[in-house]
Structure 1
């Protein structure tokens, strides 16, 4: 077999030798060197056993197989074949099989020994797809325990080869270099308000007018590709889309050279896995779609992010494969330095329910027994494992037979559960229709209306949906009536929703989230099975984007009903036995014998101690105790609201109370006495008396509410009092009142007042109150509490 003269040929002997000697190797080679096509053929011709090539994408798997078959002059399916989801071309004569990483994970799960396979080539490891990282971990485990003769070759365009070499047991690292031509750069950022599609179209026109050859433009997704194509009305140039949602024929057409110039509008699939011949200019939007949790659908989704510097370099390098080229970058030149160095590994950012299921099938639910490039995040993996328990895929972390069936479907566990259970309830076709819809998304809000539209439509999304329905239908069996709501509910039981009372169509989901139907949804039902919902910042409720009409019978059948005793405080004690579907209350009845203690404490903490009966004596006792705690300290306790409410049971007996009205009958003063320290409490009236006797013989109430105790007393009753009284060592502040009871003076130094300030008060008041005594020497005068002089 004569191989094409591509750069990787120079290192093929070293690759074969490294695998023979070590069993593992790392091959670093840029796109266009032939690593994806020549290396597998060389491995196949040098030894026995099947060579399996794992590619991260279906498009790349098919293209690689087609290229290798063309080199051999054979149709695909002979010496070289491929297998991707829903499509397989292999035969008994196949020696090289190209598969997707996810599909190979399933094969390893089914038979870890991989009988008949001599070498697995893990291509494009640098892309760090979740399935690829998992596959590497599983194959390393296979080599360690079952197949030490299984050879592993990891290839990449740009990779941290040292870390990968370590994982593969200090594997040799081999490098293939390719002659490249210089690439010049132009930065064409979007104008103010310009969409990225318009910016890319502008850069494409510039590239076409400035040089020769074809143009390869990178955009984040199929939607942006379609919109950019619509902006390029070029009579003498073919504009071709290239992304994973195209049919095989359209993908092949985009990769095939033409007599006319062409513009290939591609997603990230063209970064490294594919060779696009004839390209001399690259236009880079600087954007890519990466896996993230799609909270709207409750399933893995894609988010648009800025590319890394490594990806930008890889994209621009496509322009210099066949001659000097030019790269047009749709961002400002100063932003180049702000790009992250490498793309974030998917295992750090993606929703991990599928990974959790694969790990459970491998009997290592937390993944701790595997050698990871980067281990899965604990939080995301824990969330995935919790979901598996809810769906019945695992029990106490151990995969169930149902879980193995779900894993074998190659769907997200939510959708796998919906397909399996839905098929037995409503039939395979009906279940497959809804699952395919949930997987792809919808235009309309009403699931049934969207299904009717898809069944009659002939556009590309509808045709794609129909192909997926046919594929899924073959995976399960069952017959039954049509019920889209049941299948939706099986996928998202926590999104079963019941309409709240009132005018607006607001629904409460079983998971506790409230969401409303948008105007014109066409849905009007008390119960909904919600498939998609969003929550915009600043809005009180979420918005239901896709749902099917349901009923309570369906909801309780799918999600199950719990009966719980609820005792809470809602302005008063509420004690009831409640039938619930998640957060949705179905019915309730009073619970007369419930333990209401905690609810009463909650009520006190929410509403304050004012709920209790506070007589004047109770309030006075609290003020006196607070004074002693403030000036003496221990053992006198704090009696402020925060302290008392933090430990209600230490002083308040709630055993006889069952509702708010009962709290109002609890004497707070009696309760506070439980806090008095003994034997010190015997000195309460000495240290902080309720009333203080003054020289006139009156007993005046002391005010303890301030920092110092205050005694408000008529001035004439204090004659003869030469020293300021003290309580617990603190001087009493005297508010000396006129005969009319108005403040005449305030002092905490009575002797000083008699010697000084009194004379001014005397001069001011004796004319107004001539019938009251105003002696020149009050310190020696007789006190009186009467309003007139008496002889």
Structure 2
């Protein structure tokens, strides 16, 4: 049996085992990659910890589950499924004799749901907790509630980057163990990409350089599978190196090939799965693109976007560390050293940015509100509310007094162990024919594990399925109790669109005119990908939406054409409503009856007769609220210079005279409260043009009381009276309130005037007799004493008809020439 005694964590194992020998132990282990926390520690616990019950080791990724299980079983000289077992979605190997079960965090959530007391489990270890997956955070929050039922259950949380003290405080324990990593010196070198060059194009020559410099192997980090294939394609012609991909959708045999020692120099191109989840042999050079692909949930649309983003400094450190496992290494980074100042310290927890639909359903199924559970990072409350609303609309939740509870439909969907959308498809097929069940197995398998290189054709026939997609197809056939041969023959007899609408009714897209552009139910735009161009139809069902961070429109890669009859599907909820709005090229105010599916107008007709005042006002308000107001210019109103100046004056006085309790008339408030301050003045407006010509100033002034208006005129007046007796407009929209005045009009003024309770100095733009700027000053006294004499020397000969006294403070202010005086 191979010894693991050389790993850094080995020296700490006696102390760890001693701490875990006590019932209800709480332990936090902070150890960087290479310390042995995923291998040496579980093996030592298995061999030395004398506690009844099974040990459960949780991993965020399936690849890590499989590699660790096979490695530890090999150390024991056994097959997987004996003392060491594993469990992932659709695959498992364990028995009654299994004492160490390695599983994904998502499956552990399901185990807790089915057995909240975790009978026969004595210890749970959370590995790689720094990855902060939603499933991991949820599992640990649920487990903390289980601990009140199991006083003998122990918990270990292991992290490579999150400071142990923060986790320990959250778990209410002071038991912390810190281990050093096993890493040799790493030389960090930077290869910044030119601003006019795509980073992927710049990556290829850097990988070539890495191959030349590597003695053993190169690990290249890129955001996703498409980039992996692009890099591998660039080096496919070389016989002197072995090129391998590494990502979560690889078949098990291909994953194991990457984890085995190399027989020649190799290049592994991977996603961030290779940061911490697996140990790759024979790597001494790392090439880091500095990018990763992250799913961000957009609650206003109810969709997630996969965005390519810059990695955090913690991720950059993790990636570089992969080059120093076996000896001194090199890391080539595709950015400049100074760029690191703008990088985040850590990646945000997934619970802050992700789609929480499944999360909310699991919390409700557990019997708790998300806000009541203890999370290291609280879930995004807006995401929770949106997802709870979606689940209620879908019938998975139902209102129960002031909250919602899981329905029988929701429980059935959760127990299927797949995405809730796919669950609706499975449930619909269960009550249908064998052909529909066969089709459901086929489409759900390809939704769960999308086949590569098949963007346009959906679904692929069973004969073309491979790897994990094939595995999932067989799983669902077994669920439906259908023979493979029967499924291959019958699936084409079912209606794909009708089946998919059960889970994707909110993904309908309507064509805009005769173009390749579409509008989706949620209101966003979309365009057909070139591989889907043959699917042009007035209505489409969008199966695969992808997004580019540089474009607001979605890209439709996989679509199903829909007919008018498909829109009568029971899952398609069409609403009939009567609205008043501005229609046609002339933007006339009309009253129409519409049949809508979200933002899609399926049919409409104009209604005769006058438009009620409340509907007309509502139409006007709607026009002003079509986009978020960041500035007043986002509101389609006539913002005159007088309006802008008045708003700036109010803002200044509000800042320096808080006791006056002036309203905060910022753009957001103005937009959100249009019905309060603007609509009462719209009674005679009939057209959009009239709205755009309406002057808001009178309505704005009414937001101040008479006393506040008097204070505004006194403390922040619209004009300033110069010593010459003439008045000049003050510009409050400048960086500082400023007035432009000819220098001669300021004679006799010893110091700069002040505004707003004497707290703001008025900036003076002192002009020549011809109106050109001579000096800008906020300190008039200093100007008279210093700069004035130089200005006088230069200007006196140019403008001899105007006065240039030696002592301007004692002189009489004037706008006249000497002759006129």
- Going from structure 1 to structure 2, the CA distance change for 1:247 and 1:595 (only over 3 Å counts) comes to same
Post-superposition Cα deviations, 1:57-99, rounded to whole Å, max 9, x if no partner, equal 0001111111111110111111101111121111221111110
- Aligned-pair distance for 1:491? 2.0
- Going from structure 1 to structure 2, the CA distance change for 1:254 and 1:193 (only over 3 Å counts) comes to farther
Aligned pair partner of 2:411 in 398, 404, 407:
404
Q: How far apart in 2 are the matches of 1:551 and 1:372? A: 46
What's the secondary structure of 2:157's corresponding residue? strand
1:153-172 matches, cutoff 5 A: 153-172=156-175
Post-superposition Cα deviations, 1:702-756, rounded to whole Å, max 9, x if no partner, equal xxxxxxxxxxxxxxxxxxxxxxxxxxxxxxxxxxxxxxxxxxxxxxxxxxxxxxx
1:604-615 matches, cutoff 5 A: none
- Aligned-pair distance for 1:142? 1.1
What's the secondary structure of 1:174's corresponding residue? strand
Verify: 1:17 aligned to 2:28, yes or no: no
1:413 alignment counterpart:
420
1:76-115 matches, cutoff 5 A: 76-115=80-119
Verify: 1:136 aligned to 2:144, yes or no: no
- Aligned-pair distance for 1:395? 1.0
What's the secondary structure of 1:62's corresponding residue? helix
Q: How far apart in 1 are the matches of 2:86 and 2:103? A: 6
- Aligned-pair distance for 1:489? 1.8
- Going from structure 1 to structure 2, the CA distance change for 1:268 and 1:296 (only over 3 Å counts) comes to farther
What's the secondary structure of 1:203's corresponding residue? helix
Post-superposition Cα deviations, 1:660-716, rounded to whole Å, max 9, x if no partner, equal 9xxxxxxxxxxxxxxxxxxxxxxxxxxxxxxxxxxxxxxxxxxxxxxxxxxxxxxxx
Aligned pair partner of 1:229 in 221, 232, 237:
232
Aligned pair partner of 2:152 in 121, 129, 149:
149
Q: How far apart in 2 are the matches of 1:603 and 1:63? A: 61
1:352-501 matches, cutoff 5 A: 352-365=356-369, 367-396=370-399, 397-425=404-432, 427-439=436-448, 449-452=457-460, 455=462, 457=464, 463-476=467-480, 481-497=493-509
1:699 alignment counterpart:
none
1:54 alignment counterpart:
58
1:528 alignment counterpart:
540
1:599 alignment counterpart:
615
Q: Say whether the 8 Å CA contact 1:198–1:228 is kept in structure 2.
A: no
- Going from structure 1 to structure 2, the CA distance change for 1:17 and 1:198 (only over 3 Å counts) comes to same
Verify: 1:36 aligned to 2:38, yes or no: yes
1:341 alignment counterpart:
345
Q: How far apart in 1 are the matches of 2:413 and 2:259? A: 36
Q: Structure 2: which 5+ runs fail to align?
A: 483-489, 624-674, 688-821
Post-superposition Cα deviations, 1:135-183, rounded to whole Å, max 9, x if no partner, equal 1111112113x22221111112222211110122214110122453222
Verify: 1:175 aligned to 2:185, yes or no: no
1:178-327 matches, cutoff 5 A: 178-190=181-193, 194-232=197-235, 233-293=237-297, 300=304, 302-327=306-331
- Going from structure 1 to structure 2, the CA distance change for 1:43 and 1:195 (only over 3 Å counts) comes to same
Q: How far apart in 1 are the matches of 2:77 and 2:221? A: 32
- Going from structure 1 to structure 2, the CA distance change for 1:513 and 1:287 (only over 3 Å counts) comes to closer
- Aligned-pair distance for 1:7? 2.1
- Going from structure 1 to structure 2, the CA distance change for 1:606 and 1:588 (only over 3 Å counts) comes to closer
TM score, norm. by length of structure 2: 0.67
What's the secondary structure of 2:372's corresponding residue? coil
What's the secondary structure of 1:558's corresponding residue? coil
Q: How far apart in 2 are the matches of 1:504 and 1:208? A: 47
Q: How far apart in 2 are the matches of 1:499 and 1:356? A: 34
1:740 alignment counterpart:
none
- Aligned-pair distance for 1:296? 14
| Stretch moving more, 310-319 or 103-112 | 310-319
Q: How far apart in 2 are the matches of 1:539 and 1:200? A: 23
Q: How far apart in 2 are the matches of 1:600 and 1:218? A: 57
Aligned pair partner of 1:331 in 332, 335, 339:
335
Q: Say whether the 8 Å CA contact 2:262–2:282 is kept in structure 1.
A: no
1:706 alignment counterpart:
none
| Stretch moving more, 336-345 or 435-444 | 435-444
What's the secondary structure of 2:458's corresponding residue? helix
| Stretch moving more, 285-294 or 194-203 | 194-203
- Going from structure 1 to structure 2, the CA distance change for 1:40 and 1:598 (only over 3 Å counts) comes to same
1:670-709 matches, cutoff 5 A: none
Q: How far apart in 2 are the matches of 1:97 and 1:241? A: 28
- Aligned-pair distance for 1:238? 2.1
Q: How far apart in 2 are the matches of 1:142 and 1:643? A: 51
- Aligned-pair distance for 1:351? 1.6
- Going from structure 1 to structure 2, the CA distance change for 1:294 and 1:73 (only over 3 Å counts) comes to farther
Aligned pair partner of 1:566 in 578, 593, 605:
578
Q: How far apart in 2 are the matches of 1:647 and 1:394? A: 41
Q: Say whether the 8 Å CA contact 2:27–2:155 is kept in structure 1.
A: yes
- Going from structure 1 to structure 2, the CA distance change for 1:211 and 1:451 (only over 3 Å counts) comes to closer
Q: How far apart in 2 are the matches of 1:439 and 1:94? A: 29
Post-superposition Cα deviations, 1:254-279, rounded to whole Å, max 9, x if no partner, equal 11113323232222222222222232
- Going from structure 1 to structure 2, the CA distance change for 1:468 and 1:193 (only over 3 Å counts) comes to farther
Q: Say whether the 8 Å CA contact 1:493–1:558 is kept in structure 2.
A: no
Post-superposition Cα deviations, 1:94-136, rounded to whole Å, max 9, x if no partner, equal 1111101111111111211111111111001111122111111
Q: How far apart in 1 are the matches of 2:441 and 2:232? A: 33
| Stretch moving more, 463-472 or 347-356 | 463-472
Q: How far apart in 2 are the matches of 1:247 and 1:446? A: 20
Q: How far apart in 1 are the matches of 2:423 and 2:373? A: 26
Q: Say whether the 8 Å CA contact 2:451–2:469 is kept in structure 1.
A: no
Aligned residues: 612
What's the secondary structure of 1:93's corresponding residue? coil
What's the secondary structure of 1:265's corresponding residue? strand
Q: Say whether the 8 Å CA contact 2:34–2:183 is kept in structure 1.
A: no
Post-superposition Cα deviations, 1:287-326, rounded to whole Å, max 9, x if no partner, equal 2222323899965453322221112112222222222222
- Aligned-pair distance for 1:551? 3.2
Q: How far apart in 1 are the matches of 2:203 and 2:323? A: 16
What's the secondary structure of 2:378's corresponding residue? coil
- Aligned-pair distance for 1:363? 1.9
TM score, norm. by length of structure 1: 0.69
Q: How far apart in 2 are the matches of 1:645 and 1:344? A: 41
- Aligned-pair distance for 1:570? 5.4
Greater CA radius of gyration, 1 or 2?
A: 1
| Stretch moving more, 58-67 or 271-280 | 271-280
Q: How far apart in 1 are the matches of 2:581 and 2:339? A: 56
Q: Say whether the 8 Å CA contact 1:442–1:546 is kept in structure 2.
A: no
Q: How far apart in 2 are the matches of 1:537 and 1:182? A: 37
1:568-587 matches, cutoff 5 A: 568=580, 580-584=596-600
| Stretch moving more, 551-560 or 108-117 | 551-560
Q: Structure 1: which 5+ runs fail to align?
A: 608-641, 653-658, 661-791
Post-superposition Cα deviations, 1:175-217, rounded to whole Å, max 9, x if no partner, equal 1224532222222223565544454443344334335333323
- Aligned-pair distance for 1:408? 2.2
Q: Say whether the 8 Å CA contact 1:423–1:477 is kept in structure 2.
A: no
- Going from structure 1 to structure 2, the CA distance change for 1:492 and 1:183 (only over 3 Å counts) comes to same
